[in-house]
Amino acid sequence: MQAQIASYYQVQYNAMKQSGLYTEGRLDRNFTINENNTLFGTWFYYSGWFNLTASDHQYGYYAFNGAILDIINVNQTDPATFYKDKKSGTNFNASMQGVYSDSENVGTVAGYTSIGGSYMYPEQGTFQAGIYCLNAFFDTSRSLPIYMKYELIQNASNNMFQDELKVQYSNTLASAQGAFNATALLYTRVWTNNN
């Protein structure tokens, strides 16, 4: 049965390889999205300036824009099916490090517009702290590029699920290079109903 499914899927997989736009291609692809000592992984909103109301939780606690960040290391994707920039049609250069996406949901947080799916290009820093330039990939709602300043906060060196991620978005690299301010948002690797 598995071989039969794979044979049916091969036509689709071949199309994905020609397209070069699909982060997941193989049927047996297993992402290890959370990576210790990096910002890569799934992150859940913990605290910040969001003024959440009951309407933001209609379909569960994390049913609002910006509730969840998915940040995938490009080395965890399938290189046979993901090598091309959708906007330019050209192959990625070696500096593209991953894919960022914030959740777009029914709860619309006043003052926050979802960024959507973006390619991540490093501007400065390391996987622990720095600035990424986010360029349009899919479902983008804001004018891009956007600069995402981030800091990985490791609360326990041997347990990445106690990590926190601080992020702040800016329209220019110069403004991203300043200190974090009141528009910073804090995320955790484990969801917490933080009323």
What does the pLDDT read at residue 12? 92
What 3-state DSSP class applies to 159? Answer: coil
Enumerate the β-bridge partners of residue 185.
Answer: 167
What is the percent of the chain where pLDDT is above 90?
61
Instruction: Say if residues 150 and 130 touch (Cβ distance below 8 Å).
Output: yes
More confident call, 105 vs 83 = 83
* Phi, psi angle pair for 19, to nearest 5°: -70, -45
The mean of the pLDDT values for the chain is 90
Cα distance between residue 91 and residue 68, in whole Å = 28
For residue 5, pLDDT over 90 is answered with no
For residue 120, pLDDT over 90 is answered with yes
What ranges do the domains of the chain cover? 2-188
What does the pLDDT read at residue 181? 95
Amino acid letter for position 121: Y
What 3-state DSSP class applies to 188? Answer: strand
pLDDT, tens digit, 9 for 90 and up, residues 28-37: 777 678 999 9
